[in-house]
Structure formats: C-alpha cells, structure tokens
Amino acid sequence: MSNLKTLVFFATPAHDCSYLPGRAATTMFVDPRARVDKHLYSQLTTLGFRRSGHNYYRPHCETCNACVPVRLNVHHLQPDRNQRRVWRKNQDLTCTLVPAAYSDEYYALYERYIEQRHDDGDMFPPSREQFTSFLVDGATDTWFLEMRLHGALVGLAVVDELDDGLSAIYTVFDPDMEQRSLGTFAVLWQAEEIRRRGATYLYLGYWIAECRKMNYKTRFQPLESLIKGRWRVQ
C-alpha cells in the first residue's frame, strides 16, 4: 500500500482553466498506479486533494492560487435562516446512503441535471461512460445519498468516507425541484451524518471567489480554508 512518502506526482501541461475564462491551469495528479486506501486518501484530502473517478488531484498553477480548498467543522456549523428553512422544507424526503453503483435511474437524473443546469460546462453532453468514470469508478468507501419524494428519486449526492468525516464529491437533483434547494439540503444532511458518526469535517472541494457557481459554499459558516498549508476559518 502506498503512503505519502512513496507517492509519485505528475503535473499536466498548461491547459484552459475550467473555471476562469482566459486563464491557463496546471493540475497535479497522484500516480494512477498508486494504491490509495481510505487513510491515505484522508491525508491527501487534508492537503487539498480531490478525487474524480480513479484520479486524485489538486490545482498546481504557478501564477494563480484562486482555487482554495474548503471544509466545514460540522460541530461549529451555524445554519442561517434560509438554510434552516431548506432543512424544514425537505423533511418529507426519504434519505438513504447506498453503495456507489451505476443504475439507469441514477443516470436518468444525472442526464437531466447536466442537460438543464450545466449545458455550458465541461460535462456537457452527459453520457453513461462519463457518469461511471466520474462517480463510480475508483470509488473507495464511496456512497450515494438517495433523496426520494414518495419513492421517486429527486436528488443524488456522492460522498466519500474519510478518517475525519466525509468528502462531498458531487450532487445532482431534479431540475423541476429547484425550489427545494436540494444542493443545500444535501450539505446539511451530510453535516448531520458526520455528527451522528462522531466525526468532524465535511470537505466541500474548491472555492473560487470569481466563480459565481461556487458562491453557495461561503453561505455555510464558519467555513475553513486551506491557505499556505494551514486550515483557517475564513
């Protein structure tokens, strides 16, 4: 099994940034041949890495540090009035954690979400292969949070187990259910699950101040950011 001392990292050539138009980006990847268990994955996450399928990566740009890893200490989380309203509104949902796997039901929801909410992004057009390689392949201690209303699947959140909590990988929801704010609800539900487990952190990936689609992350307070190798409250 690999460890931090034996890992080999690779950097990509400069490529177009997915978040900031007109900028170039470089990404650092863990050697895909490395055997990454839950403990090593947890260590990498505290260093700012994320998982996408089989790949563990983090931004490695020479002249830009816009991508800031962020996390929540769920024991300090203070939901605002809107978040409390979202929590109450969705108490009629049935939420269940199930092992990550492909199903036509999951893909149909994913496809609708990408086509109607992210038709201008890198993940458009969606495909079954994309869904599997992004959300199922390489899964280590990974779960799908099903959100169902009267039996119908209306939301799906992908979460990874870590030594100190959970990592929120991706969330999709029925575009017709936008008024329920299921993305916000999924974060609040995961925070509750972490508390139930006696763990501490919910890792939310990267926050970019100039990226409007990431503004929702700053609504969860107090939010911790990884800056110059140290986690600090924003």
Domains and CATH numbers, the chain: 9-68 (no CATH), 71-233 (3.40.630.30)
- Is residue 65 a contact partner of residue 209, using CB atoms and an 8 Å limit? no
Residue 227 pLDDT? 95
The span from the CA of 138 to the CA of 56, in Å, is 10
Residue 115 pLDDT? 95
Q: 10-residue block means of pLDDT along the chain (234 residues)?
A: 91 91 93 94 97 96 94 98 98 98 98 88 87 89 97 98 98 97 98 98 96 91 96 92
Q: Among the residues of 65-168, which ranges form H helices?
A: 81-89, 104-117, 128-131
Residue 96 pLDDT? 98
Q: pTM value?
A: 0.95
H or E, element range at 148: strand 142-149
Residue 29 pLDDT? 96
Residue 118 pLDDT? 78
Residues sharing a CB contact under 8 Å with residue 201, sequence separation 6 or more, in sequence order = 71, 72, 73, 74, 162, 164, 165, 166, 194
Q: Within 13 Å of residue 120, how many CA atoms lie on the same side as its CB?
A: 4
